Structure 1
Amino acid sequence: MPHFSSLLQGLARSLSVGRDRKADGAGDGKAAAALRSSGTLGRGGSETFAAACSRRGEKGINQDCSIVLEGFGCQEDTVFCGIFDGHGPWGHYVAKAVRESLPPSLAGHWQEAITLASLIDGGEKRLGDLIVVANVGDSRAVLATKADDDDGAVVAEQLTVDFKPNLPQEGQRIRECNGRVHCLSDEPGVHRVWLPDRESPGLAMSRAFGDYCVKDYGVISAPEVTQRRISSRDQFIILATDGVWDVISNEEAVQIVAATADREKAAKRLVESAVRAWRRKRRGIAVDDCSAICLFFHSTPS
C-alpha cells in the first residue's frame, strides 16, 4: 500500500510546528489514550503493550521526549509511537513542539489513507498487523524477531537509517547545495554540517525538523518511510534516541529487552544499561540523554 508512504512524505514536508493543533484523537473530539515520558500503556487487556523511559544526561536539560497513543486516528487497533531528540540551546522546546504537533496533524491524513486503503483492498482493512516507520534524524527503530532456525532466539533487524552527514548520498546532497561536511579536530569521526562561510551550526545529522539556517544548504526534513507486515515471529520494536544507540548495539538492545521478564521495566532497563555503558565506554565524556520506547506486539510472549 504505497499510498501510506506518499501521504506521510507529503505531510512531513508541509508540517509547520505549532500549527493546526487538535485533540490527540483524530479531530472529532475523541482523545486517544496517551503516554508521555516514562511509564507504561496497554495493561487493560490490550493486544499491544508499551513501556517508555527517559533519563536526563549530563549536558543540562533533557532534550529527549516521546509519546505513545493508543487508538490513534480513532482506530482501536492502531498505536502511534514517537521519539524525539532535540539539539541546540532550544532543542527541548522543539522536540516537545513536534511531539504535540505531529500526531494530530498526521491523524487526519492517516484517516484518509485508511479510507483509500479500504477502497483499494475491496473493503478489507488490515491495519493491526501493519508497521509504518517514518524517520528524520538519528534516532532509530529496531525490530526484534525470532530467527528462522526455530530455536527461539530473538534477533535484531534495524528498520531505519541513521541520517548522518557522512552517508554518501546525504553528504553529496549537502555539498551540491554548497553546505560543508567535516569533523572538528577534537571530534574525529563526528561529521557535522556547516554553512559555506561560517563554522556554524555544526549539525551532526543530515535531516532534522527546524535548523532553518541550513535548510538551503542540503539539510532536509523529509523522512524515509517504510512499511511491513508484522509476522508471527515478530516480538517487539524498540524506538530509542542516539544516546542509547551510541553505546548499545542493536543486538544488545534486543537481548536486554527480551531478557526482561517484567515488560513494564523493559524500557527502563534498556535506558539504565545505556547510562552504565556510557560511563564504562566513554569515560570523561558527558553522558547523553537516553530515551526508549518498547512496543510489544503480543499480549503474552509467543
Structure 2
Amino acid sequence: MGNCSNNEASFKSSNNNDYLRTGTINIIKRNYLGNKIGVSKVSFENTTPIKLQTSIGFLGNRSIKVHGCIIPGLDPRGEMDKECQDNYIFFIINSSVLCALFDGHGKEGKKISAFCIDFVGTYIKKYINKFETDPEETLSKMLEKCDKKLNRSKIPNEMAGTTAVAIYINANNIYSASLGDSRGIIATINDVFIPAPIPTHNFYKPVSVKKYLKPVALTTDQKPNHEDELVRIKDAGGSVEQITDEFGRPVGPYRVWVKNKDFPGLAMSRSIGDRIAKRVGVIAKPVCHDFKLYEADQFIVIASDGIWDVMENIEVVNFVEKYKNQCIESTDLFPAKPENSSIARMLCEEARYRWYGIIEAEDVMIDDISCIIIELDEVSSPSKTQVKERNVQAFLSIAISPDINNTSSTEKNLNLLLD
C-alpha cells in the first residue's frame, strides 16, 4: 500500500460507520522514476451490490447465520467497463453448510464463474449423501469435475478461468478445497491480543474489539513462485516471471508463461479453466484440508482477493467481530451502515473503502469484492483449552532469478496481459 498525503477525499461521513456512494479521490501522478509530480482529482460513483443473501439454520444444535455479498469492481476514471466476475453459492442442508466462491479472470471470467455456480449447485444436490460420508474427497472431485465439464462446454477458456474455494461444515468438522488465491479463514477465541497492522493510508475504519480472536487459515493461496508449484510448472515446460514495465522493471506478482512467450500470464498455479496454462503445469486439483470445529470458533469468512489484497486476516476477523452484532438487515442502500447492511456487505464496503488508498497511490482499478460469512452461535462458556493447533499445508515462496527458467529474460509487456 502506498502513502497518501494531504488527502482531500470526500468519501468521509459525519458517521464514521457509514460508507458513501460518491466522492472524490486524489490520484498521485508519478514520473518514470516513481517520484510524485502532481495529483489528479477523480470523482466517481460506487457500484451497488449485485448479490445479497442471508440464511439461518443449524450445525447440529448450534444455530448459524450465513451471509453473502458481491460488490462489482470499478474503474474510477471511467475509461474501462469492468464486468463483475465474482460469484458464490451456499446451502444449509441436513444440519450442515456447503458453500463455494469463485473469482473469474480473463475475457470470459464472468461466464466461467457463473458456469461453476450452476455446476456446483447441481452437484451438491445430487451428491449430498457423499458430502456427509466422504466430504474431503467429494469436494475435491466436485472442483476437478467442474473443470473437466467446463473444458467440454462452449465457453472459451484457453485464456480465462476462475479461482475456487469450497467448504463443507457439519457439527464437528470443517473441510475445505481451494484453487488459486481466494481464501477461507475461521475466527476463534484467543487468550492473547493479536495486533493488527495500521494501513499506510487514511482509508480505513479504526476497529477496537473487546474479545481477543485469532484467525486460522482454512485454505492456502497457490502461487507459481511457491517452490513445489514452480517445480511442477518448470517440468511441464512453463516459466515463472514477473511482468515488466516500460523501463524493464519487474512489477506485481509472479506469473505463469509459456516459455519465451508473453501469455498466458496467470498469477496462480491452480485454477479452473485456463487451458493454455494447463499445458505448462497449472492444474485443477485443489488443495484440501480438514479441521475440527470447536466451541471457541466464532465465525468463518470466505472471500475473493478483492478483500485479501487490502486487508490482513486479523483485520478481517476484528472488523467482523466489531460489526456483526450491530448489523440489522441486508439492503443495497447508501450510505451503507450497520442498520441497513449485513455483515457480509459491511466487510465488502470496508474493503472497497481501503481500495481508495491503493488507487490514490498506484492509479489502479477497484477489484471485484465478494465474501461469505458464516456466523456460529455463541457458546456460553467455550473451552479454549480444548482447541488444538490447526495448520494448512504450507508452501515455501521463493524469489526467482532471471535465469531460473533456463531462458533469456523475455519482457512481458503489461499491456499484453489479460487480467
TM-score (norm 1): 0.78
Residue 244 of structure 2 is aligned to residue 185 of structure 1: yes
Q: How does 1:1-302 map to 2 (within 5 A)?
A: 37-42=51-56, 47-58=63-74, 60-71=82-93, 76-112=94-130, 114-115=132-133, 127-148=170-191, 152-186=211-245, 188-260=251-323, 261-263=325-327, 265-283=342-360, 284-298=363-377
| Paired AA for residue 105 in structure 2 | H
Query: Which one has the largest radius of gyration?
Result: 2
Cα distance in 1 for partners of 2:243, 2:134 equals: 49
1:49–1:299 contact (8 Å) kept in structure 2: no
User: Aligned letter for 2:326?
Assistant: D
More helix by share: 1
C-alpha spacing 1:301/1:87, structure 2 compared with 1 (3 Å): farther
Secondary structure at the residue paired with 1:111?
helix
State the percentage of identical aligned residues: 31
With 57-66 and 132-141 compared, the bigger mean Cα shift is at: 57-66
Deviation at 1:242, TM superposition (A): 0.5
Runs of 4+ in 1 over 6 A off after TM superposition: 43-46, 299-302
Matched residues, number: 255
Read off the aligned partner of 2:182 and give its amino acid letter: S
C-alpha contact 2:298 2:378 (8 A) present in aligned 1: no
Gap runs ≥5 in structure 1: 1-35, 118-125
Contact 2:57/2:92 (CA < 8 Å) preserved in 1? no
Match of 2:166 in 1: none
**What is the one-letter code of the residue matched to 1:276?**
Y
Structure number with higher strand proportion: 2
Provide the C-alpha distance between the structure 2 equivalents of 1:87 and 1:301, rounded to a whole number of angstroms. Answer: 43
Distance 1:39 1:116, change over 3 A: closer
Distance 1:77 1:163, change over 3 A: same
What is the CA–CA distance in structure 2 between the aligned matches of 1:116 and 1:272, rounded to whole Å? Answer: 37
Q: In the superposition, relative to structure 1, how do residues 301 and 107 fare at CA in structure 2: closer, same or farther (>3 Å)?
A: farther
1:163 and 1:218 map into 2 onto residues whose CA distance is 13
1:238 CA drift (Å): 0.3
Q: Distance in 1 between matches of 2:68 and 2:370?
A: 8
Contact 1:48 1:299 in 2 (8 A): no
- C-alpha displacement of 1:169: 1.2
Instruction: Tell me which moved more, 281-290 or 231-240.
Output: 281-290
**CA deviation after TM superposition for structure 1 residue 176, in Å:** 1.2
Offset at residue 229 of structure 1 (A): 1.6
Unaligned runs of 5+ in 2: 1-49, 76-81, 136-168, 194-209, 330-341, 382-419
CA contact (8 A) 2:256 2:266 kept: yes
When residues 113 and 39 of structure 1 are mapped into structure 2, their CA distance, relative to the original with a 3 A threshold, is closer
